[in-house]
Structure formats: structure tokens, C-alpha cells
Amino acid sequence: MSRLQRGFRGRPVAMASLIVLAILYGGMIIAEFISPYSPTTVFRDHVYHPPNLTFYSQELGFGPQIQERVLVDQLNWRYARVSERYHRVELFVRGPEYEFFGLFRTNIRLFGVNAPYRSGGATWEGGGRNVPVFVFGADHMGRDLFSRVWHGARISLTIGFVGITISLTLAIALGGLAGYYGGKFDWLVMRFAEFVILIPGLYLILFLRSVLSRELDSGQSFMLITVILSFVGWPGSARLIRGMVHAIKREDFIAAAELDGIPPLVIVFRQIIPQMASILIVSITLGIPGFILGETVLSYLGLGIVDPAVSWGSLLNREISTLNNLRSFPWFLYPGLFLLLTTLAFNLIGDLLRDLFDPYYREKKIGS
């Protein structure tokens, strides 16, 4: 463990990646609390509203605040700032009600603006709504992109783990048994794996997605996408594992285990597979971004997560479908930024782990 700690300390980039991932996964868990609104809350007067969070104005001085804007161009969704109408952004504001982990209902959100939507009207508590704060702007229905990014993280960030779990389980089971038993079973599994590898991944994904039912609720389509991506992902790792099992099963301690009458399945999964723990850890960290990106691609093409469920891919899907949109509303790239951060972080950590587990890699001596 100390080697791992030293490795992270010696590489600030990997350390930063770890922190980024911790923030993203932590934020994903408490998404309702972090985001000022629910992902489906619609502000009808604020379609394509630009980000309005600023940190300075003459009226209020320094500090997080927003300036009210009013729609001036219905055609191009241009907004004009309303002078002298600033509101402070405050912490722990009462906003729309939500259920925290299904445990209790509350309406305290991390931040928000504590001013009624219309002057003299009711706030959230009174059944009305407050002046919205759009950290990342609003989408084509006037929904807060910041809130949607955090809620979308739930699907985008978990699909990596679920997907790698399924595909690695398949790879370990098939690759491990093929490597250990050899012979016809080995031949069959490996030819099948090569067949799957042979088909261009994206077409296989699209084919499977279109063959399998279209009318799915969000939970079902989440599972379906994960299974499809795992199916495309297992052969590579299965081949790797099979090769290593082949090498390890010739070690004397495996012969000793066979001699002791330990059942073959116990030998494979308790004696052989643990020998490659380091390689498996690396392939997990390097494999997760693939699943996240796979989901994004599917959702971007409209075959993945669809409304009302949110994922980063589905957020990118509609909004940046035309260059014109992108030019007028550049804040729609924020989900892409999150995607970039996540995949980069996983890759950087995977790189570090690979170096640490590589017997030929020498630790750079830091300090003493």
C-alpha cells in the first residue's frame, strides 16, 4: 500500500485525477443536494438562457451573484441584461423539494437565489419559484444544465463500473476456463472471441441495439446498453486472461494443487486468477472510460438514454447536433467537459497503476 501512496505522491497529475474522480462520484451521489433544481424543472421563459453566475457587480460588490435577464429576440433566443437587478447566490437555500436517498424529504439545496420569480410572488416554499441561477446555462426547454449534468452523472459514471464488472466476469470465466482446460473448449471460446473482435465495434453495438426492443423505459435501456457494451468488450480481456492462465498453470504450485486433489474450478479461480490481480486492476481502470464513451456514443445517436432520463451522452445528443447551435449556445459543451475530465482521470490513474505493477518500471526516488 505504501508503494501506491508513494506512486500517487510522486505524480501530482494522478493525484489530481483521483481528487477529480472523488469529487465527481461524491457529487453524483448527492446530486439532488448539489443541483439547485430537479433535472426536469422547466423555466419556460428561460429557454436557451446563458450562464448567469458572476462574481462582481457594482451594486453588490464581490461574491457569487446573478443578474436578471429578459428575452429580447424570440427567434434567436437572445437575452438582455436587466440593469440593477442583481441577486446574491446563497448557500443552503430552500428550493424545490426532493427526497434524500429515499430517506426523508427536504427542500434545502446547496445553493440558490432567495428571491421570488416575479416581484411580490411566492418563493419555492410558497408554491411558486425563485429567480433561477444557471451555472451552466439552460437547455431548449429552459431546464438547468448544471442540475442535469449532475443527475446525468449517475448513469454515465455507474455504467463504467457495471459494464466492466459484467465484461470482466465474462472474460475471467471464459478466458480462465479456456486457458486451464485447453483443447476443444479453448478453441471454441477463442474463435468466438476473435469473431466478436472482427466485427467493427460500433456497427455491432448499433445492430444489437436496433434488434433488441426499442420501447424501453430508462432503467431497461440502461441495462441493455451495459450488456451490449460488455458483450463487445469481453473478448480482448478474455484473450489476455487466457494467455496468462496458460502460462501460470504450468507452475509447480498448480501441479501441487492438482496433486492435492483440489477441484479444477477452485484451482482456476482461487489459485490462478489471483496471480494476475495487478493486470486486472489496470485493465479495469483503463476499461471504464471505454464504457462511459460507449454509452455517450449510443446516447448521442439517440439509441441510448432518452428523456426523461439523463446521461452525459443524451445531454450532448440534442444540443450540439448543429454547428449553429454550438456557435450560439457554447455552454452545451459542459457535459463534454465532464466526460473529458472523467476519461482523462481514469486513464491517468490507470497509467500510474500500470507503471507501479510493471516489474521493469523503477520508482523514481523522491526525497530520501
Judged by the rule CB under 8 A, the positions of this chain that interact with other proteins are: 251-253, 255-263, 266, 270-271, 274-275, 277
DSSP secondary structure letters along 100-129: ETTTEEEEEEEEEE-SBSSTTS--TTTTS-
CB-nearer residue toward other proteins: 182 or 201? 182
Q: Edge-to-edge strand order for the sheet containing 53-57?
A: 53-57, 61-73, 78-100, 104-113
CB-nearer residue toward other proteins: 82 or 256? 256
CB-nearer residue toward other proteins: 3 or 81? 3
CB of 253 to other proteins, least distance (A): 5
Radius of gyration of the chain from its Cα atoms, rounded to whole angstroms: 25
CB of 280 to other proteins, least distance (A): 12
CB-nearer residue toward other proteins: 231 or 269? 269
First CA to last CA distance, the chain? 18
In the numeric block, the cell 450532448 is attached to 316
CB of 271 to other proteins, least distance (A): 6
CB of 5 to other proteins, least distance (A): 20
CB of 144 to other proteins, least distance (A): 50
CB of 235 to other proteins, least distance (A): 24
| 8 Å CB contact between 310 and 221 | no
Hey, how many other C-beta atoms are within 10 angstroms of the C-beta on 203? 9
CB-nearer residue toward other proteins: 202 or 247? 247
β-strand partners of 87? 66
CB of 251 to other proteins, least distance (A): 5
Q: Which three cell numbers stand for residue 133?
A: 441561477
CB-nearer residue toward other proteins: 122 or 256? 256
Q: Which three cell numbers stand for residue 283?
A: 485493465
| 8 Å CB contact between 87 and 36 | no
Evaluated on CA atoms 271, 273, 274, 279, the torsion sign reads: positive
CB-nearer residue toward other proteins: 34 or 267? 267
CB-nearer residue toward other proteins: 225 or 273? 273
CB of 364 to other proteins, least distance (A): 24
Closest to 322 (Cα-Cα) out of 335, 332, 312: 332
CB of 266 to other proteins, least distance (A): 8
In the numeric block, the cell 429578459 is attached to 70
Angle between helices 218-248 and 201-211 (to 10 degrees): 140
Closest to 150 (Cα-Cα) out of 292, 264, 329, 310: 310
- Find out whether the peptide bond into 308 is cis, omega within 30 degrees of 0: yes
CB-nearer residue toward other proteins: 242 or 249? 249
β-strand partners of 111? 91
